[in-house]
Amino acid sequence: MIQSVKPELVFIASEMYPFSKSGGLADVLGVLPLTLSRMGIPVAVITPLYGRLSTSAYPLRLVCENCPVGYPWPTISADIYQADYQGIPVYFIDRGEFFDRRHYYCTAKNDYFDNCERFIFFCRAALSAIQRLDFPVSVVHVHDWHAALATAFVYFWRQHDSFWADVKTVMTIHNLAFQGRFSNRLFWNSGLPDEAWNMDGVEFYDSFNLLKGGIAYADRITTVSPTYAQEIVTPRFGCGLEGILAKRKDALVGVLNGVDYSVWSPGQDTFLEQTYDLDDLSGKAICKKALIREMRLAPNLENRPILGFIGRLRGQKGIDLLLDIIPALMREDVGVVVLGEGKPAHEARLLDLMEKYPGCLCAHVGYTEELAHQIQAGTDIFLMPSRYEPCGLTQLYSLRYGTPPVATAVGGLKDTIVSYPLPGTTGFTFAESTPAIFLQCVKKALTAWENKALWKKIQTNGMRADFSWNKSAQRYLELYADLGLKK
């Protein structure tokens, strides 16, 4: 049953699991609003109606036809559809020419040429829907650059429009590297007042920076782990925005992402050949056998460690570091499984290496939810050599699946992994993103794997760790309450 009260807290985001997903952002949107709703907050989510949307299980209802958006010039409108997702209303912005495409943001080669218009349109349509549907909204919580500019519109509109007068905004940065930077000429058509065009506003070295707009005008800024919140005010991790972030430091806080354990638990995972849990890990060995079969790994690897990697094949995730150490890993007589898609050069190198090491290195270039679960369960060690990591969800999943991670000690990885040999070890972290140091750390994990009792302890420590959303949702609740949201 959908919540009967109108939403006071509205999320605006470009992805939401299970409707759309290209990464962790979608996972967060799939669970945080639900958790808050269960805590008694009337909440709604607004997201685009993409052509590639998985809505078959959730019938859509048209709730506002031709909702005027006021952007671009001449003004066009959006149709607003609504679905019920486990009791919370999800609103979809429909405008075929912007969202009915094969991909969300880009083709394999390029970003869509009109991303600036598409996502300003999305922000403005979302705000129009809130007003049209007359939500008693107190807080608008936006995510990443696609939704960031909604904070700027609210900031300026509340100065003269009584509907927005008491509305506050929260902006969450899931990844500072993606900023939505466009030509300055697109600013002049955005509908923001001229005064927003300055170095404390949306201007970034003469370009129009949507994420910067969010940082400048949101009432509160959050990012997805405490360590990343500290890192992004420094030049090493700030991606050029460290200045404005440092200026807004008092409004910035890091709240760790959580896990939706109803989706990511080996004890109830329907994608697995055999479920298992903390008390009985025997199902994990069956999942390993199934993965060996599925990925065509050499059968003898059943008795050797298999290392897994799932993620975007990008420099951020350190895929190049992994590819660099593949020959050395192969000498250790281990299996490596990679699931991901991304930069064509990394994909090509991965496939070349796969030909060189048949049965030992197996990769699936593409995106498949099912295989992601099977790799989490069927591997022994999870690899995450990220150069930076705002939070990272895959290591949290791997902990729950009894697959200790080997990861760089950055951002959320630092906050969530207890590194060997500390008491309560759950994984292995290393300080510097170089192939040699990464390899050294993997070797440390391989040595620990040989000691069955030690390994079981590390696995069970990780499986016991609790990264459920309740604690983090409570932090968000405090933040909203600070901004006037009543519970």
Of the pair 354, 391, the CB lying nearest ligand ADP is at: 391
Peptide bond just before 421 cis, omega within 30 deg: yes
Q: DSSP labels for 44-78?
A: EEEEE--TT---TTS--EEEEEEEEEEETTTTEEE
Q: DSSP labels for 111-124?
A: B-TTHHHHHHHHHH
Least CB distance to ligand ADP at residue 133 (A):
30
* Phi, psi values for residue 111, rounded to 5°: -65, 150
Of the pair 12, 31, the CB lying nearest ligand ADP is at: 31
Cα–Cα distance between 487 and 485 in angstroms, integer? 7
Amino acid (one-letter) located at 424: G
Least CB distance to ligand ADP at residue 375 (A):
9
- Please give the structure tokens belonging to residue 317: 């995730």
Of the pair 384, 448, the CB lying nearest ligand ADP is at: 384
23-59 CB burial, b ≥16 within 10 A, e <16: ebbbbbbbbbbbbbbeeebbbbbbbbbbeebebeeee
Least CB distance to ligand ADP at residue 35 (A):
17
Least CB distance to ligand ADP at residue 395 (A):
7
Write out the residues near ligand ADP by the rule CB under 6 A.
23-25, 27, 175, 310-312, 339-341, 367-369, 372, 391-394
CA-closest candidate to residue 418, choices 384, 462, 466? 462
Least CB distance to ligand ADP at residue 28 (A):
8
Of the pair 117, 389, the CB lying nearest ligand ADP is at: 389
Of the pair 275, 394, the CB lying nearest ligand ADP is at: 394
Select the residue whose beta carbon is closest to ligand ADP and give its number. 24
Least CB distance to ligand ADP at residue 14 (A):
12
Residues in the chain: 487
Of the pair 27, 94, the CB lying nearest ligand ADP is at: 27
Least CB distance to ligand ADP at residue 374 (A):
10
Peptide bond just before 74 cis, omega within 30 deg: yes
Check: CB of residue 32 under 8 Å from CB of residue 16: no
Cα–Cα distance between 179 and 208 in angstroms, integer? 10
Least CB distance to ligand ADP at residue 261 (A):
13
What does the DSSP 8-state code read for residue 438? H
